[in-house]
Amino acid sequence: MPKPPAPDRFNEEKAVFTVRGADAPNLDEGVQAIRTVLKTLPARPGVYRMLDARGDVLYVGKARALRNRVVNYTQVTRLPKRLQRMVAQTRSMTIVTTNNEAEALLLEAQLIKRYRPPYNVLLRDDKSFPFILLRADHAFPRIHKHRGARKAKGSYYGPFASAGSVTRTLNALQKLFLLRSCTDSFFANRSRPCLLYQIKRCSAPCVGRIAEDAYAELVDDAKAFLAGKSTQVQRKLGAAMERASADLDFELAAIYRDRLKALTFIQGGQAINAEGLGDLDIFALARTAGVVCIQAFFIRGGQNWGHRAFFPSHVTDVPDDEVMASFLVQFYESVPPPKMVLVDRDLPGAEVLTEALGAQAGFRVALSRPQRGDRLRLIRQAERNAVEALERRMAETTTQAKLLRELADLFELDGPPDRIEIYDNSHIMGTNALGAMVVAGPEGFRKNAYRKFNIKRGETVPGDDFAMMREVLERRFARARSEDPDRDGGEWPDLVLIDGGRGQLNAVRQVLEEMGVEDVPLVGIAKGPHHGRDGREVFHLTDGREISLPPNAPVLFYLQRLRDEAHRFAIGAHRTRRAKQIGGSSLDEVPGVGPARKKALLMHFGTARAVRDASLEDLCRAPGVSTGVAQGIYDFFHSR
C-alpha cells in the first residue's frame, strides 16, 4: 500500500466538505453544525477535523466509515466531558476521504503533528532522533552522526535515544573500525595524518596510510557489526590477533587487541540480554495523577541503542490503550519503524496500525504484546523504567510548581506563570547583532518555542542595546497581536524577563505601552555590584522598585538559570551567524551568481577581490560565465 499524500494534496478520489455555523460557543449549535455535515458525509474511510468559530483545529480523528464515526458526536449524553466541551466549541468540520483506514491513520498523524489540536493526545517531544550514517558516496566512506532528512546516500543506523548515546557509540566504533569521520573537504586537503590517527581512531586514508580495498574491508566489518553480527566480527579480530602474534608482529597484535577491547566495550555498554532478537522497539506506559509516561527502548541487532521517556499531553479522560495507540502513530510518523514493535497492552485497531506502519516502512511490521520469554522480560524492564521516570517527573513537577508559586509571590503576579519569556541580545561591537527569546514553563524549557531576531532595522544604531531590545520586543508583540489578538492560544507570556537593568526595562516598557500592551508583567535582571559573582542579582520592576534575594534562595537559582539559558542561546546564535559571515564573500551578494558559479569564478581568478577588479573581457573568459552574467558582475562592482 502506498504512503498517503501530503495533507494539502488529494487525488481524484478525495473530497473536502466544509460547513460553517454560528460563532457562539453553544453545545446545541455545535451539534447542529455536525449534523449539517452528516447530510453529505460518505460512509468511506477518511479523516475529519473539528474547527472552532475562528477556524482553528480542535480535534483530528480518523474513521473506517466517516458517517458512522461522526454521528457519535451528536449523541452528547454518551460522550465524556472532554468531548462535550469539544462539540460545544465546534462550528465547522473538514472531511478528507481516503482509500482505506490505514491511509487515514497515517494522514491523521500528519495533521496532528501540523495543527497540534487541543483535544488530541499529543507527542510533546518533537525533536528529531540522531542516527549513525555510514556514507556511500566516497571511495573512503565517512561515518558520522546525522539528524534530519535522510537525503545523503549511505546506510543509516538508528534511531538512538539521545545525542550522548550516539556519540559514545561513534567513539567506540572509531576505535574498533578506524573509519574516518572528517568532512570531504577536510579529507581532500590533508597532507599529513590528523590527531585521530595518532590516537588510533582513524586509519588515515586521506594520506594513503591504508589501501582502498583494506578500508572497504573495514567498512564491511562495521556494517556487519551494526547489523548485529558482532560475534562474527569478534572472531575475525581474534584470528587476526593470533596470526600477528604467531608472526611475532606484536605491534600489530596490540592494535587488534585494542580493537577487541573496543568491541567488548560496545557489547558491555549496550547489551541488555537482547541478543538474537533482531530489530525491535519496546514501549510501556505508566500513569499517575493524570500524568502519563511512555518508556521506549530501541533495540537494533540485539544491541540497546538507548531509551527515552515521553510524556504525552491532553491525556485526561483518555484510556491508556488509546493513548498508546495515538502515541505510536505519531511517533512513527517521523521515525522509521523496525520489523517488530513490542507493547505492554492490547491496542484498539492494532491490525490497522500494523498495516499503516508496514506501508510507511516498506516491509511487514509486527505489533506484539509478549506473554513469555525474553520479550516479556524486556517489557517488564520497560514498565519499571516508565514508573521510575514518572516518579522523577512528578517530583520535579512538584518542585517546579513550588518555584513558580514563589515567583508569583515575589513579583506579585496573578498566579504561577505558565509561560515565561526571557530576552537577551548578543553582538560584537555592533556586528552580527541579534536578539534571542527563550521560553520556560511548568514543565521546564520549551525549546521548540525559542526564537532569534536578526537586528535589521536601519534606525537601530549598531551596539545600542536599548534600541536592539526595543526592536526585538516590538516585533515579538506585533506578531502576537496579529496572530493571537484574543490571547487564547497560549502564546502570550505571563512574565517577561529582560537580561539588563533599568535602561533595558524602560525601553521595553515604552515599546509595549506604545502598542497598547500594558498588562504583561516585566522584570529586568541586572548583575549586582560585584557583577553577580556573589549571587546578588538585582531585579528591577516597572514601578521603580528593586528586589534582591538571599544568595541561597531557590527562586534566585531558578531565575539565574532562566537568565543563563537566554544568554547561552543568544551567544550560540550569534556565533553561528558570525561563522557564516566569516565563510562568505562579496560574491554572495552578486545577482545571478550561485554556489557553482561562485566556485568557478574563485577557481579561475583566485580571490573575490580579483573578480571585483577584473575587466569585462576577463570575466567573459571565465568558465561558465556568459556575456550577460559577466556584464551583471561587472556592473555590480563598478556601479556602486
In CATH terms, 16-115 corresponds, of 3.40.1440.10, 3.40.50.2300, 3.20.20.140, 3.40.50.2020, to 3.40.1440.10
For residue 523, the model assigns a pLDDT of 92
Q: Residue ranges of the alpha helices (H) in 293-450?
A: 320-331, 350-361, 373-411
Full 3-state SS string of 66-84:
HHHHHHHHHCHHHCCHHHH
Say if 280-391 and 420-581 have the same CATH topology: yes
Contacts of 454 (CB under 8 A, 6+ apart): 433, 434, 577
∠ CA 202-266-343, nearest 5°, is 130
Domain ranges of the chain: 16-115, 131-270, 280-391, 420-581, 586-638
Q: Please provide the CATH number assigned to the domain covering 586-638.
A: 1.10.150.20
> What DSSP string describes 38-67?
HTT--SS-EEEEEE-TTS-EEEEEEESSHH
- Cα 274 from Cα 382, distance rounded (Å): 13
pLDDT at 197 (0 to 100): 87
CATH code assigned to 420-581: 3.30.420.340
How many angstroms separate the CA atoms of 527 and 331, rounded?
43
> Three-state DSSP class for 18?
strand
Class in CATH terms, 280-391: alpha beta
Distance, in Å, from the CA atom of 267 to the CA atom of 377, rounded to the nearest integer, reads: 19
Distance CA(133)–CA(155), nearest Å, equals 6
pLDDT along the chain (640 residues), means of 10: 44 39 65 89 90 90 90 88 90 90 88 88 73 88 84 83 78 82 85 86 89 88 74 73 78 73 59 63 90 89 80 88 91 86 90 88 88 87 91 82 88 88 78 84 86 77 77 86 77 89 86 84 79 67 87 88 90 74 62 75 75 81 81 75
Q: How many CB atoms lie within 10 A of CB 597?
A: 18
Q: pTM here?
A: 0.65
